[in-house]
Amino acid sequence: MSATPGRRNVDHLIVGAGFAGLAAAIKLDEAGERDFVVIEKDSDVGGTWHINTYPGAECDVPSQLYSYSFALNPAWSKVYSPQQEIWEYTRRVAEESGTLDRFVFDTAVLDARWDDDLQRWVVRTEGPAGVQEYAARTVVAGAGGLSEPRLPEIEGIDGFQGEIFHSARWNHDVDLAGKRIAVIGTGASAVQLVPELQQVAGHVDVYQRTPNWIIPRNEREFSSIEKAVFAKVPGAQRALRSFVYATLEARVPAFARFPVLMKAVEAQGRKNIAKGISDPALRAKVTPDYRAGCKRILISNKWYPALDADNVDLVTDPIAAVTADAIVTADGVERPIDVLVVATGFYVTEPPIARHITGRDGRTLADLWDESGMAAYKGTTFHGFPNLFQIVGPNTALGHSSMIFIIESQVRYVVEAAKAMRREGLAAVEPTQAAQDAWTAEIRRKMRPTVWQTGGCASWYLDKFGNNTTLWPGQTFTFRQHLSTFDLDRYDVEVSHEREAVNA
């Protein structure tokens, strides 16, 4: 193909240097697919674990499972790893992989457009050196489902004169000691950061729209003997990892087929409330009225005691407006604040990256998804978008186990696809509409009896049509089985135009 001045040809363009993009880079490299770039808008690897630096940020999946299978870490300090430790782990894995020379940091993807003549994606990026254009055989999107902060639309919020920031964009320059702080949201992030704020703030108002089921966190540090055993006997660590994996998978039937079993979790949650909170009125406010599991089950030993503290108020009246220095609730009460922390989650079912990816017929992924919701073949590939692979795509997220297992399953599929394309001399592969529709129909069928669909709550798992387009509705090993080989027979394929001409 003729080169356009300034445009760089690459085989693979990977978007994002979090767990997904990093695994894709490492595994493509190992498979001999070395001509790739990784475009990362942040200044380093680690994705969510580099960006989310709010106080108390920790993983709620056990550390033994929250790591790559190909890079076990015997040095995890605790059962649930803190953010900094996870980020340092990703950095170390990246350095040791020898792939960092192909990472481009502080650079955003402006748009990606499939070019039928080139049989490549034309991708424009913008970074410190300006705008760069790439022509890539494949795009591997690993931008993450929880990366774009969702800011609440509340009257007057733009006119707030104090400090305001999202949990995922923590402003460490703000001194919180003695301040009056409001936190909007009571999800996984808020549950971790509020207990930390409670310790330093003068007063904290926590604005709750819906309570979550929160069970105790079985927290402890690994002893030096355990760490030495993990380092010297990798089999021991693998055995523990397998045990954690099996324990988490054993919960799937309760989520997916028999939500009534979740009553056991609710009993644990009620006990946790009773242990942490003495005031019956406050206990009532934090007790959910829907089936556990419908929203993500949270784990914390610190949340309820923090809410029970003298310097914390839980506010359940809806927020009516934000003024220059206060929050006003629907009952007319005005609560003055210095700092507003917005812990309101992320754009999950309308990911902004979808607006920047334009397929074969000139439509963006967002255009399609706006009409009928997110859908993909095997959570990874898209009819109408040849050679596009999304890691953590539609219906691949988990409510019960480690996303790294899913990421590795998808990365294997991408590598198998790259090998198949090279072996068969293919320029483009794209799942057939029939294959994608059948996959989506099967997901919807499996989703129907799950707690996420029947549990009686609103959650970010569901899109505007009421469909759960985010979670995988089963055990993770079945997902891995589905993606263990690249099933070319479910794809429309094209050889290169040059080869077509020779064969004609």
Spatial CA neighbour of 342 closest among 125, 158, 500, 141: 158
The CA distance from 435 to 491, in Å, is 8
Q: Which is nearer to ligand N01, 80 or 486 (CB)?
A: 80
CA 306 to chain centroid, in Å, comes to 27
Q: How far is the CB of 395 from ligand N01 (least distance, A)?
A: 15
Instruction: Return the H-helix or E-strand segment holding 228.
Output: helix 224-232
Q: How far is the CB of 164 from ligand N01 (least distance, A)?
A: 14
Q: Which is nearer to ligand N01, 146 or 340 (CB)?
A: 146
Q: How far is the CB of 335 from ligand N01 (least distance, A)?
A: 14
Q: How far is the CB of 244 from ligand N01 (least distance, A)?
A: 15
For residue 401, the SS3 value is coil
Identity of the amino acid at 392: V
Q: Which is nearer to ligand N01, 209 or 419 (CB)?
A: 209
Q: Which is nearer to ligand N01, 60 or 85 (CB)?
A: 60
Question: Contact positions toward ligand N01, by CB under 6 A?
Answer: 58-60, 146, 152, 167, 184-190, 192, 207, 209-210, 296, 319, 343-345, 460
Q: Which is nearer to ligand N01, 192 or 198 (CB)?
A: 192
Q: How far is the CB of 206 from ligand N01 (least distance, A)?
A: 10
Q: How far is the CB of 306 from ligand N01 (least distance, A)?
A: 15
Q: Which is nearer to ligand N01, 276 or 384 (CB)?
A: 276
Burial of 216 (0-12, 13-18, 19+ CB in 10 A): middle
DSSP 399: S
Q: How far is the CB of 214 from ligand N01 (least distance, A)?
A: 12
Q: CA of 469: how far to CAs of 223, 256, 294, 347, 399, in Å?
A: 41, 15, 14, 13, 13
- Give the tokens for residue 226: 């355990």
Instruction: Return the H-helix or E-strand segment holding 340.
Output: strand 339-342
Burial of 281 (0-12, 13-18, 19+ CB in 10 A): exposed
Angle at alpha carbon of residue 374, lines to 368 and 378, rounded to 5°: 115
Q: How far is the CB of 327 from ligand N01 (least distance, A)?
A: 10
Asked if 19 and 407 count as a contact pair (C-beta separation under 8 A), the reply is yes
Q: How far is the CB of 260 from ligand N01 (least distance, A)?
A: 23
Asked if 352 and 143 count as a contact pair (C-beta separation under 8 A), the reply is no
Q: How far is the CB of 235 from ligand N01 (least distance, A)?
A: 27
Q: Which is nearer to ligand N01, 345 or 379 (CB)?
A: 345
Q: Which is nearer to ligand N01, 37 or 348 (CB)?
A: 348
b/e for 175-214, b at 16 or more Cβ within 10 A? ebeebbbbbbbbbbbbbbbbbbbbeebebbbbbbeebbbb
Q: Which is nearer to ligand N01, 15 or 59 (CB)?
A: 59
Q: Which is nearer to ligand N01, 153 or 173 (CB)?
A: 153
Q: How far is the CB of 188 from ligand N01 (least distance, A)?
A: 4
Strand partners of residue 103:
38
Cβ neighbour number for residue 132 with a 10 Å cutoff: 18
Q: Which is nearer to ligand N01, 152 or 305 (CB)?
A: 152
Q: CA of 358: how far to CAs of 13, 41, 193, in Å?
A: 15, 20, 38
Give residues with Cβ within 8 angstroms of 81, minimum separation 6.
Answer: 58, 59, 63, 66, 89
